Structure 1
Amino acid sequence: MRMTERLAAGDPAPDFTLPDADGKPVSLAEFRGRRVIVYFYPAASTPGCTKQACDFRDTLDSFANEGFAVLGISPDKPAKLAKFRDNQKLSFPLLSDPDRQVLGAYGAYGEKKLYGKTVQGVIRSTFVIDADGAVELAQYGVKATGHVAKLRRDLGLAASQ
């Protein structure tokens, strides 16, 4: 399978509408006028994805005060996302992309190394979309642990407590 083309700063962010953990459609267009952090993760309730989601949860107020919304996207079905949200007390939308169309549009699905083997899968990635719907920052192959703190530094935001 061919690697999906990666996005870069200045590219238009591919629009999407995906169901959230309750099956309610959420569209990127709803967030026009504010900055949005869209992060892609492989699977709800796995150790790394849980750590990353909890880091976003724990800094959500700080991001909101800086004018950011946060959206998490994985190939998981809404029922699994609802369980993950409830178990971890996540307070931002988790969106379901089981056919991986949005993952592909963002270049967040394709070949990656896993335990030394090349496999097809979700490439843990984070995008900052500006108020006009353009990619402000694109980060591929991010680490689950420490990523949120690094993202805050990359955006020039103060460390959150």
Structure 2
Amino acid sequence: MQTHLMDRRVTWLLAGMLLGMAVTYYCPAEPAYAETAVMGERFAMATCNTIALNSEAVFVLDMVTGRLIGAGYSTTAGGFVHSWARNLAADFSVTTKAQYVMVTGFANLQQQGGGGAQPASGVIYIGELTSGLVNMYGFYYPQANAPLPTAELVRIGTFPWRQSSK
């Protein structure tokens, strides 16, 4: 009787292990993505994905001047070697009292930039209250590991989310 119970336990243990292996094979784990955005009274900061197997870029939105500035860290060069900028006040046609919000997201962009630069997989969404617009910005991530001149962020799309209060 004791041997029979022990055989049954081993059988169930082996069956459970096989079932667990089958589930993990057919349903692999999803990678976790963590992008961060934080907002202060006069500036906002957010991280954004660059391209696969590279580090993130950090973007700072100066709400006083309406300027968005970003820098990408190169793990091989060991520093911030790529930078991007955009004058958001001109894009939203605001001069004073602009109220911005910023978040980042993911987009699978396909076009190629000059010099073999690839479009980054991360995008930046900027919303502005008085214009009632949300703009989507992207950037190209160069393959060079040496410091390059500041490139301009590319406006990919715009949508109005409310009536302009200008």
Query: Which bin holds the TM-score, normalised by the shorter protein?
Result: under 0.3
Question: Which has the higher Rg, Structure 1 or Structure 2?
Answer: 2
TM-score if structure 2 supplies the norm length? 0.26
Which structure shows the bigger proportion of residues in helix conformation?
Answer: 1
| Structure ranking higher on relative contact order (CA contacts 8 Å, 6+ apart) | 1
